[in-house]
Structure 1
Amino acid sequence: MTELTCLAICWRMERGDGVAVGLTGHDRDLVVDGLVHRAAPGMVPSAVVRSEGLEADTMEVAGALTSAAVGEDDLLAGRWDGARVAVFAVDWRDGSGRVDLGAGTIGAVETKAGGFTAELLGASAALDRAVVEETSPECRAELGDARCRVAMAGRRRFARVLGVEGAVVTLDAVEPVTNGYGGGRLRWFGGANGGMIAAVAVSRGTTVTLRAEPAFAVEPGTLVEVAEGCDKSIATCAARFGNAANFRGEPFLPGVDLLTRYPGA
């Protein structure tokens, strides 16, 4: 038993692109589980509320924006969306005695006055989702996932960026079929956007139109990976992918407009 309390709050954050960042409210860096947790005294957690019921466990973390750890540009660009976060306390003297306080993913993020506030959604937050899916004429699976089962090994290609104008990206490779990348994804492998994924709206020849402009400037020659997409219709699923047996939609189910029909309409 010690006469002084030697606890320090730590945060371990792992982004979707594989980057892990450790921060601590202590006044010096701490090494915990092989990761250096940088001193960030401005990081302040809200009250941690844990329950045994089915209510979603949530908490908030507020802190100062720093270019070396959590930058405003990265937050606004979406690099931290859905990042996994673990909040715990350790003995700052030797990093022992770890006590987990909460874990989850980053939800809503707000920035103001040189700082930010991030909501952490616990595992029980998933209980707020719908239990069953609603019927739809379009497929509810994602191309290449466990339900779709289309092999994506030959449907992803690397290319170089020749130029960018707004949301239109010109590549040095031609799409495999008409609008082959429409509904697909473009992953940046270099430059300021490295590690980020952009949704493709439509493609034509050597150009792909993204659903949103790149967050940062793009230099010619940047390496990207483009993955084919699907318009989620039964016609495309059967003709292009030969995968109608795994179609996850109800294209022939009458819609709600059937209830409004009457004789002579």
Structure 2
Amino acid sequence: MTTPLQNHLATGATHLCTCWAVTRSNGVTLGFTDHDLPLSFDGIDFTPESGLSARALASSTGLSVDNTEAIGVLSADAITESDINAGRYDGAVVQTWLVQWDDPSARKLRFYGTIGEITRARGGFQAELRGLTEALNQPQGRSYFKTCSAVLGDARCGVDLSDPACMAEAVAGDTDGQVFALADMAPFNDRWFEQGQLEVLTGAAQGLRGVIKSDALAGGSRQITLWDQIKAPIVAGDQIRLIAGCNKRADTCREKFSNFINFQGFPDIPGNDWLVSVPRSDGANAGGSLFR
């Protein structure tokens, strides 16, 4: 059975355009088209002359990244430099359709993937588009380490991050987006949130996250320092959420989270010192194991 788009292509006189939809991690979807009039379908409005275009799609049977890029102009009403700097487009989902512009129901999805590396120059941007097969290029299988291979709160870990012992909400004070001075938030111990995450819940930076570098108690207050600055304005009064950190060690899993039954590491695996151990003249060489 042929599709409406195939029937249209068979006529030889085509009315075609390209439409792109970019869906950010916070659920905001932006639509763009190279047609000269607006189009709408699937609940998305595709705006023309928005400064976004894409190179010709090129895919292969291998697992390499699809050879395509989105090229656009930074503008106040579409994709802004501040949003790119804040990381709102990192990992955003991209869909591309070939559309009959006088009948948008005749269309074909040609690309589905995510945004990779973004570079900016001369008032514009260039974004790498990564196809679905990109995930298959990542290392697969399990590695054997003393430390845990799970991510805190994921299905293998099983820790409930909504538990009051794992999460706390606070009100931000004056901050540069990297260092936060907060109330003590008892009963959380010193360094409780170290290696965890800070998420902004309200304000201009809503939805943005940062990884916590250090968490120190001093003088009745708690100072949270992130590895990287959140590049969006955070003002006094904005709500933030702190998620506990995990250093992947067995004793932390057992004592901090009471979750040792789900520990995904191998704390008793012999180390390199055992692999290179040899008999010694001053040791007990009775033919037994060298590993004690």
Q: Secondary structure at the match of 2:175?
A: strand
Deviations 1:84-104 (Å, cap 9, x if unpaired)?
110112122242211111111
Name the aligned partner's letter for residue 119 of structure 2: E
1:180 correspondence with 2:192: yes
**Residues 41 and 153 of structure 1: is their aligned pair in 2 closer, same or farther, counting only changes over 3 Å?**
closer
Partner residue in 1 for 2:4:
none
Q: How many residues align?
A: 265
Please, what TM-score do these two structures have when normalized by structure 2? 0.83
Q: Secondary structure at the match of 1:31?
A: strand
Q: State yes or no: 1:81 paired with 2:128.
A: no
What residue in structure 1 maps to residue 212 of structure 2?
200
Distance, in Å, in 2 between the alignment partners of 1:103 and 1:173 is 46
Shift of 1:35: 1.2
Say which SS state the counterpart of residue 47 (structure 1) adopts. coil
- Which residue in the other structure is 2:17 paired with? 8
| Alpha carbons of structure 1 residues 263 and 40: separation in structure 2 relative to 1, 3 Å | farther
Match of 1:160 in 2: 171
Q: Deviations over 1:160-184 (max 9, x none)?
A: 1022256211234615233221121
Q: Is the 8 A contact 1:109 1:117 kept in 2?
A: yes
Q: CA deviation at 1:159?
A: 1.4
4+ aligned runs moved over 6 Å, structure 1: none
Call closer, same or farther: CA 1:87–1:165 in 2, change over 3 Å.
closer
How far apart in 1 are the matches of 2:176 and 2:107? 50
Q: Hey, what does 1:128 align to over in structure 2? A: 137
Secondary structure of 1:18 counterpart: coil
Deviation at 1:204, TM superposition (A): 2.5
- Higher gyration radius (CA): 2
Does structure 2 retain, via aligned residues, the 8 Å contact 1:103–1:120? no
Is 1:239 aligned with 2:239?
no
Alpha-carbon contact 1:29-1:36 (below 8 Å) kept: yes
CA distance in 1, matches of 2:73, 2:273: 52
Q: 1:97 to 1:251 in 2, by over 3 A?
A: same
Matching residue of 2:148: 139
Question: Deviation string for 1:197-254 (max 9, x for gaps)?
Answer: 1111222243211111221232111111211221211111111111111111122222
- Match 1:253 to one of 269, 276, 281: 269
| Per-residue deviation, residues 123-161 of structure 1 (Å, max 9, x unmatched) | 111111112132222211111110011122223232110
- Asked if structure 2 preserves the Cα contact closer than 8 Å seen for 1:161 and 1:172, the reply is no
Alignment check: 8 A CA contact 2:209 2:230 kept: no
2:3 equivalent in structure 1: none
Q: Secondary structure at the match of 2:142?
A: coil
Matched to 2:192, the amino acid is G
Partner of 2:54: 45
Match of residue 103 from structure 1: 112
Q: Which ranges in structure 1 are unaligned for 5 or more consecutive residues? A: none
Say yes or no: does 1:170 pair with 2:181: yes
Which letter does structure 1 place at the counterpart of 2:266?
E
* CA spacing shift, 1:160–1:166, aligned 2, 3 Å: closer
Structure 2 residue identity aligned to 1:198: G
RMSD: 2.2
1:261 to 1:146, Cα distance in 2 relative to 1, 3 A? same
